[in-house]
Structure 1
Amino acid sequence: MGMSGLTALVTGGTAGIGRAVAVQLAREGAEVVVHGRDADRGASVVAEIETAGGSARFVRADLADSGDIKRLAQEAGDVDVLINNAGIYKFLPTSDMTEDLLDQHMSLNTKAPYLLVKALAPGMVQRGRGSIVNISTLAAAVPTKGTGMYSASKAALEQLTRIWAAEYAEHGVRVNTVAPGPTRTPGTDAMDAVTLKAVADTTAMRRIAEPEEVASAVTFLASHRASYITGTVLEVAGGRPAIG
């Protein structure tokens, strides 16, 4: 997809969707800055990319710390592609949601992407090119019990996507969001067959996504193939089942 010579920063790039995105971007020729909190997992992703002939490095940072976010942006350098993937989710009814958890959701899912865009987008503007892809969730559009704070923090990110798209479009910087549905994770791997089927049946395709399927959509939006796409929220969710 013509990403040779570009630098991509993937937050939360050591597992799940983030890891799959990092691997795919490297395969397309980008030099990938893999962000995470676990150095061993970071080294594993870098090794996987380098074994396949790609280029990557790991930067550890705590996205709950504004100072660490600024350091991450500085160490990442001239970023051409920013993937805001890292986040937190805790499913609880409103009556059980603590103030601390509320703050964590807004800090990691909304504030951290905001600060990274604030730090890195000006460089993209100066170079006249750039692509930002935020990772949201289908739950931001479909009311789901227990996901209130998670959904709200991601809905805010989706609105920021539209605002950033309008703000940076004339400078050659595109901003989009991918909203995955149920996706295979260590959590789904631990589910019993009945629970997993119930989750899969919330989609029209009656199955959950593989991380690589979501990553393919992210990689497309980050690439020049999506050169006339900005301000969109792309659902990668297996379709919504019909009522009745």
Structure 2
Amino acid sequence: MELTGKTALVTGSTAGIGAEAARLLAAAGAEVVVSGRNAERGAATVRSITDEGGRGRFLAADLTDLDSLHQLAAAAGEVDILVNNAAVFPGAPTVTQDVESFDAVLAANIRAPYFLTAALAPGMIARGSGSIVNVSTMAAKVGMPGLSVYSATKAALESLTRTWAAEFSPAGVRVNTVAPGPTRTDMVLAAMGEEGAQQIGKTTLLGRLATPREIAEVILFLASDRAAYLTGATIAADAGRTAA
């Protein structure tokens, strides 16, 4: 299996895209560190991995708390693949956006991946190899009412991908982003409702929502040596929504 001997840490992997990515990485041979705040859902993800013969363990972490973040990095050990997937997805018009939730989104969507990457990248650099996959969104490129803060944080994450590629890739560490289109996850459905999510899905060239598995497949590709010549790239997994 192509990821045998590798350790992968997937943040926000207790549900949705993160959980699917954790399962696929484990199926490809990686030992997967499942991370999130909900221990029950984390245990369920690990169970789904081990039931299929894979290796996984759960580490609880609140990535908006820098002490918890650094404890996660230390407990995870030598990480070869980091998937920065955890995020919060609030919606509010700009004129009614409150400061408290604004700061919370920045803490979860920018500060957390920034300092987790800063904690784990030195080990990858020292070993001369590694893959970091950031999870963005098509909303980083398409203006969507009510998603000003969320989309701005994801655009910043795509910018960090390019900077980190410039900083880390000469040492053998690749950094890439997948930017999903509308995806059937609990987070999206809670924010938009079934009808709202379906309407956005219909705006894509394929006319439907993605499944979490379809996005996770792109994460697996970017994490693997099949993407050995890709770094600093943002892959639009959005059914053509940002292409036409």
TM-score by length of 1: 0.96
Letter in 1 for 2:88: I
Q: Tell me the CA shift for residue 186 of structure 1.
A: 2.5
Change (3 A) 1:166 1:240: same
Question: Structure 1: any 5+ residue segments left out of the alignment?
Answer: none
| % identical equivalent positions | 51
Q: Tell me the CA shift for residue 74 of structure 1.
A: 0.2
Deviation per residue, 1:184-226 (Å, 9 max, x gap)? 0135667777544422211010000000000000100000000
Give the number of equivalent residue pairs. 243
Secondary structure of 2:218 counterpart: helix
Q: Tell me the CA shift for residue 46 of structure 1.
A: 0.6
CA contact (8 A) 1:7 1:79 kept: yes
Coordinate RMSD, CA, aligned: 1.6
In structure 1, the partner of 2:167 is: 167
In structure 2, the partner of 1:19 is: 19
Secondary structure of 2:204 counterpart: coil
In structure 1, the partner of 2:86 is: 86
Letter in 2 for 1:72: L
CA contact (8 A) 1:86 1:108 kept: yes
* Alpha-carbon distance in structure 2 between the residues aligned to 1:157 and 1:242: 20
In structure 2, the partner of 1:221 is: 222
Letter in 2 for 1:150: Y
* Alpha-carbon distance in structure 1 between the residues aligned to 2:90 and 2:62: 18
Change (3 A) 1:138 1:192: closer
Deviation per residue, 1:94-128 (Å, 9 max, x gap)? 11111111111111100100101110000000001
In structure 1, the partner of 2:51 is: 51
CA contact (8 A) 2:9 2:79 kept: yes
Deviation per residue, 1:34-76 (Å, 9 max, x gap)? 0011111111111110010000000001111011100000000
Change (3 A) 1:25 1:207: same
In structure 2, the partner of 1:99 is: 99
Question: Structure 2: any 5+ residue segments left out of the alignment?
Answer: none
* Alpha-carbon distance in structure 2 between the residues aligned to 1:196 and 1:97: 22
CA contact (8 A) 1:204 1:241 kept: no
Q: Which runs of 4+ in 1 moved over 2 A?
A: 186-197, 240-243
2:233 equivalent to 1:232? yes
CA contact (8 A) 2:25 2:32 kept: yes
